[in-house]
Amino acid sequence: MEKATVYFTKEITPASLQKIYHALGVSLKGKVAVKISTGEPGGHNFLQPALIKPLVQELNGTIVECNTAYEGRPSQEEDWALRHLDQFPVEINRAPLEVLLRVPGVGVKSAQRIVAARRSASLSFRDLKKIGVVLKRALYFITCSGRLMYPVKIEEDYIVRNLTSEKDRIQFGSDGMTYRQLSLFDDASFMRPVTVVERQQAALGQL
């Protein structure tokens, strides 16, 4: 089999895309499809239409979108986490308060409860459910005692599909865990605002 020739460009501009096409030394005729994946609007990899417009017009072509069609859109929290996957997963039993607040499915009250509860014992996923963490959103971004809740992949496309598609989403309930709240986690002390001292301790990783 003859080896394919691959063309690269250091400049990501409309003119450089046309230059690559001209380097092929061919003239396309008939119906021409420009096959691309534009990415998610608002995402860090979104391909601006202006970048490919001159090439498509020169070819008199038709754009063929190859991006995955999701049923929904990630939330702002999820979008931030997906753009910073190098910072995840975080360990629930050690992560500072400000890091916990970056985890999708962990609200301010839940983060405060985690910090308070782990002072006396290591927390499990069962504990996190009782505390109020939304595990169907959080499970891709956290570990408990070094373990993921399920053998999930820390990959953007995989996580987005599971977060937005009912068909691909991990099904809960087979683990036997329920959402029954225990009185321990309803203690009023968990609901109080975070103090200045606690914020300082969280920044130093002492909580």
- pLDDT (tens digit, 0 to 9) for every residue of the chain, 207 residues total? 678 788 888 888 999 989 988 988 888 888 888 877 666 555 555 667 788 889 889 988 887 766 555 555 667 788 889 889 999 999 999 999 999 999 999 999 999 999 999 999 999 999 999 999 999 899 999 999 999 998 888 888 888 888 877 655 555 554 444 433 333 344 434 444 555 555 555 554 554
| pTM, two decimal places | 0.51
Q: Which long-range contacts (CB under 8 A, 24 or more apart) does 70-77 make?
A: 70/160, 70/161, 70/164, 70/165, 71/164, 71/165, 71/166, 71/167, 72/163, 72/164, 72/165, 73/40, 73/164, 74/160, 74/163, 74/164, 75/104, 75/137, 77/102, 77/104, 77/105, 77/137
Residue 187: what pLDDT? 42
Domain ranges of the chain: 14-22+29-65, 76-203
Residue 41: what pLDDT? 55
